[in-house]
Structure formats: C-alpha cells, structure tokens
Chain A
Amino acid sequence: MAEKIIYAMYGDDEVLKSSAKKLVSGGIKIAEVYSPFPVHGIDSIIGVKGTRLGIMAFLYGLTGLTLATIGMRYFMVVEWKMNIGGKPNFSYVENILAFIPVSFEFTVLCAAHGMAITYLLLNRTLPGMPAQNPDPRTTDNKFVLEIRLSEQTIGEAKIDELLKDTGFEELEKKITE
C-alpha cells in the first residue's frame, strides 16, 4: 500500500523536542524519531513506552541461578559425592558456601547474555540487517521526525502549517509502496 511519509530534519535536540511537543499538541502522531544519541525526554513526548527489558534480565538471572543450583546439586551431591579433604558432599545446603561463587557467576552470565540477545532481537539489529535511518546524517548530527500520513486524523495541509515554524532544516516527503 502506497503511503506518504514526511521527514522533518532538525539540527539540534532542543529544537527537536520543542517542535515534537508542538506537533503532538496539534494532534499529529509522530511515528518515529531518528537521532544520533539518546535524546532524553523525547520518549514521553512521542508516546514511546518504557521498556520492560529489566524484568526480562531479572527472569534470565533467576533461570541462571536455578540452573546452576540444579546442576551443582546433581554433579556434587546426587551423582557422585566427591570427597574432598575428608569432607564429602552429602547435602547441598550444608555445603552451600562453596557453591555461592559459581551460582553468582552463572546468574550474571545468564542475565547479561539473555538480556543482550533479547535486546538485539527486539531491535531487529543483527549482523547483516539493513540500516533504516532515512538520512545518513541522523547518525552524525541531525535529528529526524517521521510523520506517516496514514496515521493522522488531520489533513496534510494542516500538518504543513504546523510544521512551518518549528525550525526544521530540511523537509522531505516520500511515497513508499
């Protein structure tokens, strides 16, 4: 389906934020913002919700801790009671001190890698993926607002009028198929 997209390019993050605020209060839905670095405060303006990756990290960590506990108990207590210095491992709980370092390391290992992999998958940023930023300068010093006409409740003429004095540097309209 053909769709018309407006890209408004700004040269400063403060100008970007103030104009995004203005456009949103004028009833425009901003589809995306491309910026070279995290612009603090833009998320709440354009309605990007906070991420729940932190919860995921916690769950991955918990998985790691569980796996480490089950594993070590099986290796050291159930399958083969290793007798070290006359102190055999008859019970996991009584020997737990020796198992803390590995439990901790494995928890961190699973939490960190689990979260990193989830992050890359969610972003669809993987080796060989094509770049999606509309202009190469958005990874240098320019900030771009993306407005999709199909998502708007107001007409193009009204949008142009609202955009007019937001202080953009360049305006591009593109039709995608």
Chain B
Amino acid sequence: MQREAVIREPLILGHKTYHDVTEDVCKPIEDKAPRMWYVLFTIALVIGLYGVGSICYLLGTGIGVWGLNKTIGWAWDITNFVWWVGIGHAGTLISAVLLLFRQKWRMAINRSAEAMTIFAVFMAGTFPLIHMGRLWVGYWVLPLPNHFGSLWVNFNSPLLWDVFAISTYLSVSLVFWYIGLIPDFATIRDRAKKPVAKRMYSILSFGWSGKAKHWNRFELVSLVLAGLATPLVFSVHSIVSFDFATSIVPGWHTTIFPPYFVAGAVFSGFAMVQTLLLVMRKAMKLEAYIHTKHVEYMNIVIMVTGSIVGTAYITELFISWYSGVEYEAYAFLNRATGPYWWAYWSMMTCNVISPQLMWIRKLRRSLLFTFFISIIVNIGMWFERYVIIVTSIHRDYIPAAWSMHYPSHIDIAVYIGTIGIFFTFFLLFARYFPVLALNEVKTILKGSGQSYKESPDYHKNH
C-alpha cells in the first residue's frame, strides 16, 4: 500500500469502507431511476430522433440541403466533426496519460470520461459518413480491391489517414474502456437480485472472478494499453489537423496546426467532462468521490491547454504578417475584421480570456463558475473550428467567387441532433453502467481516503 503526504487533500471524502464504495456506485443502478432521468432521457431522445430524421432526409435528398455553395464546400459538417473528435480526446487522455503519470485522481473520472469519448467519436464519425451522401458505399474508404477497376484508396491522402486514425482511436478506446469495465460488471453481477439483471450483467462481466493471476494480467494490459493509447491520442488530432495543414489554402497551410489542435482538443474535452460530471456527481450522489479537488485539477488542465491554444492563435496571427505572404496576411485580417469578425472574437473571448480566469484559486474551485466556463469553452471551441474552416475558404483567390455561408435548418438539425444522440447514450450509460471505476477506486482508498489519512489505523477498528 502506498502512503501519501498528509497535507495532500484526500481524494475520497468521508469515512468510506470498501463496501461503501461498492454501495455508492451500484445503488443508482439497482434503484429505480429518478424522475429527472426520464425527463432528461426523453428530451435527449426526441432531439436525437429529430437529428436522425434530418439525416434520413439529407441522405434521401442530397447534400444540397445543407447551406454549402461552390466556394464553401466544407462548413458545419466538418466543423462538427472536428468539434466532436476534439471532445473525444479527454477520456483517453485521462485514462491513458494520467495512468502513465500515476495520477490517482483519474480513477474517479476516467470511466465516465471514456464513455463520453466513445460517444463523442461516434458522433464525429457520423459527419464524414453522411457527407459522402451515399452512406451505403461508406465502406469504400477501406482499402478494398476496387471491383469497378484497379484503383485502391489513396494512402498519400490525409483524409485516408483520418479514416485509420479515427477508427483505430474509436476501437482501441472501446477496448480499453471495456477491459476496465469487466471487473465492475462482475461486482454488479454478484449483487444483482433480479434474474434478468443477473443474466445481463453475467454476460457483460465475461465470468470475471478476480483471481490473482487475472488481476496481474489486468494491470499489465491496462498499462500497455495506456502506453499505446497515449501516442494514439496525440496522433489522432494531429492527423485531423493534417486535413487542413497539408492543403495550400491560406489560413489552413500552417505547420503549427498539429500541436495546437491537440491542445485545443484536450481543452474542449476537459470542458465537456466538467459539464457532464458536475451534473452527474450531484444527480448520482458521488460528491465524496468527485469533489472540488478533482474539479480543480481538471481546471488546471483547462488553463494550461487554453494557454497553449491562446499562444497558438497569436503566433498564427504574427506569422501571417511576418511571412510577408499577402494572401496569408489577408486570411487572418479577414478573420478578425471581415464579415465573420463576430465568430473570430467569440472564439478569442471564449478560448483565450476565459481559461485565464482559472489562475484565481477561488474561481477554479467554484463548481458553479466551472460549469459556466465549461459551457463557454465548448461554445468557443466550436467557433474555433468554424472560423478556421469557413473564414479561410469563403474569400478565395478570385473575388468574384467570394461568398458567405448560411446554415440551412438541416445543418442546424443534424448538429443539434448529434448532441441529442450523444446525451441519449450518456444517460443510458449513467443508468446501467458503473459510472465510477469502483474497484480501482478501492485501491486508493487507504492511500488517499480521508478517514485513512486522518487515522491510519482506521480500518482496524471498522
């Protein structure tokens, strides 16, 4: 057992025993769902179905129902794609990178952050697929011997790298998440009273029994998966940024994109984790496990990555002038002062100024303020992608082709719809899955739990 310095804030508050941890996490799953859950689930489902309906209409009619035109061929679709992929970066970062750095506070939040990651990447994947217009030939992105000729997919294209990056990221995150879930499903299985629940959870738990050798393998597998997932997280958003950076469009052709996209992704991902967890901890009474200290740690990550993003914005701006390339300079001048100035300045306010407020200890430990900022960051990061994508292409080399992008109601419906589907999945997860890595949390109870920190002999008398 590891001991921790006494002055460190405990990660688990109150006088919890191993059994209490099980009880606190399993109770919400075993009890009847609160009425609020049904209300939220219905709202999310209705919005999600509206999105599905819009997607069906889009596929039936064609991409023309979006507000795209001959100058702006990429707008909300790819903006939403990058936004969702970015959000999907927090989960694996929390569980993989923080595991490698042995950060114990990750254990309370990694499960739900990873669930969020997986659902977000699902939503992201929807956009390139529906943008193909012909969803049923979506498998053509795979390297299949083309039965209509001898042409293979183009391995020199960043768009194909994206296919590999996103699908690897999604499937590896899913496996990482599920391997951690197996022992926790076993706990629910062994507590289940109703036959249907028992049957379901025994299938889901794969017959896990907690043998010493299995735990030994479990720990190594988690470690190696974390080692593999860490460069994967960084590669995915780097490759997403290559979609733009390898092009020659002024405003996109920027070598700073990969690191700056990765920082932005972590920034927005943590913001979404905050949004979800601040509500979840309250609704599921997990305040003892996810408390101010966890929120503060995450706010520090938001502050650091937000500062990297801010630095990148300003560097970009400076280089566009310093390069002496007229077209580059104009692209950035147009962003800040052109017809899309409002999007640019929303992005600047939300992403550069708001994370700097986290330097103030009182603010970064305030849950209400954190919730507010997390929403602001999510909005800001959506605008970032919109600014990069739309403002760079809406005024190209031929002024006669200059154009504006106005989203159609289908653009909006598909976007809002994916948010609905995302929340539907997340609410189902919160209802039926252990939202906390409960068995992992037990391993830090003695090192970082409040009662053990106050009196190390606590467990002997209880």
Asked if A pairs with B, the answer is yes
Query: Once the chains bind, are A139 and B225 in contact (CB under 8 Å)?
Result: no
Q: Tell whether A141 pairs with B18 under 8 Å between CB atoms, given A38-B219, A50-B216, A51-B216.
A: yes
Size category of the B interface is 35 or more
Contact A131 B189 (CB under 8 A): yes
Cross-chain contact B156 with A131 (CB below 8 angstroms): no
Q: Is the CB of B442 within 8 A of A36?
A: yes
Pick the contact of B217 from A13, A40, A53, A76 — CB < 8 Å? A53
Q: Are B155 and A99 in contact (CB under 8 A)?
A: yes
Q: Which of B19, B179, B182, B221 contacts A140 (CB 8 A)?
A: B19
Q: Is B205 an interface residue (CB 8 A)?
A: yes
| Total contacting residues, chain A, CB less than 8 A | 66
**Cα–Cα distance between A39 and B207 once the two chains are bound (Å):** 20
Q: A132-B209, A141-B18 are known contacts. Are A37 and B165 too (CB-CB below 8 A)? A: no
Partner of A116, one of B175, B219, B439: B175
For the complex formed, measure the closest distance between the CB of B200 and the CB atoms of chain A, giving whole angstroms.
11
Known: A82-B154, A109-B172, A131-B189. A141 touches B206 (CB 8 A): no
Is B424's CB within 8 Å of the partner chain A? no
Most B Cβ at <10 Å: residue of A36, A61, A120: A36
Contact in complex: B165, A101 (CB < 8 Å): yes
Cα distance A141–B211 in the bound complex, in angstroms: 14
Interface on chain A toward B: helix, strand, loop, or mixed SS?
helix
Taken residue by residue from 48 to 64, chain A's Cβ proximity to chain B (1 for < 8 Å, 0 otherwise) reads as 10110110010001000
Q: Which residue of B lies closest to A137 (CB)?
A: B190
Complex CA gap A99/B215 in Å reads 38
Contacts of B212-226 to chain A: CB distance below 8 A: 212-221, 224-225
Asked whether, in the complex, the Cβ of B171 is within 8 Å of the Cβ of A140, the reply is no
Q: List 23 A-B contacts (CB under 8 A).
A: A14-B1, A32-B212, A33-B212, A34-B210, A36-B439, A39-B212, A43-B212, A53-B221, A75-B152, A84-B157, A101-B164, A104-B231, A112-B229, A116-B225, A125-B207, A127-B203, A128-B207, A132-B207, A133-B186, A133-B190, A138-B190, A139-B190, A141-B22
- List chain A residues, Cβ under 8 A from B165: 101, 105
Contact A98 B156 (CB under 8 A): yes
Per DSSP, are chain B's interface residues mostly helix, strand or loop, or mixed? helix
| A115-B221 in contact given A80-B151, A98-B155, A106-B164 (Cβ < 8 Å) | yes
The residues of B that contact A99 with a CB separation of less than 8 Å are: 155
Q: Do A95 and B152 have beta carbons less than 8 Å apart? A: no
CB-based contact B143/A71 at 8 Å: yes
Chain B CB within 8 A of A124 CB: yes
Chain B residue at minimal CB-CB distance from A132:
B209
| A125-B208 contact in complex given A14-B1, A101-B164, C-beta closer than 8 Å | yes
Pair A129/B191 contact, Cβ less than 8 Å: no
The 8 A CB mask of B160-196 against A (1 = contact, 0 = none) is 1100110110011001100100110011011100000
Whether A38 pairs with B172 at a CB distance below 8 angstroms is no
B221 to chain A, nearest CB (A): 5
Q: Please, how many angstroms separate the alpha-carbon atoms of A31 and B221 in the complex?
A: 23
B: residues with CB less than 8 A from A are: 1, 17-19, 22, 143, 150-158, 160-161, 164-165, 167-168, 171-172, 175-176, 179, 182-183, 186-187, 189-191, 202-221, 224-225, 228-229, 231-232, 235, 239, 242, 439-440, 442-443, 459
In the bound complex, do residue B152 and residue A76 qualify as a contact, i.e. CB atoms below 8 Å apart?
yes
Report the separation of the CA atoms of residues A45 and B430 in the bound assembly, to the nearest whole angstrom: 38
Contacts of B204 in A (CB 8 A): 127
Q: Which residue of B lies closest to A120 (CB)?
A: B206
Q: Which A residues touch B459, using CB under 8 A?
A: 12, 14
Residues of B with C-beta under 8 A to A102: 155, 160-161, 164
Besides A105-B168, A108-B168, A127-B206, 10 other A-B contacts (C-beta < 8 A): A36-B187, A75-B143, A105-B235, A106-B168, A112-B229, A123-B217, A126-B206, A130-B202, A133-B186, A139-B189
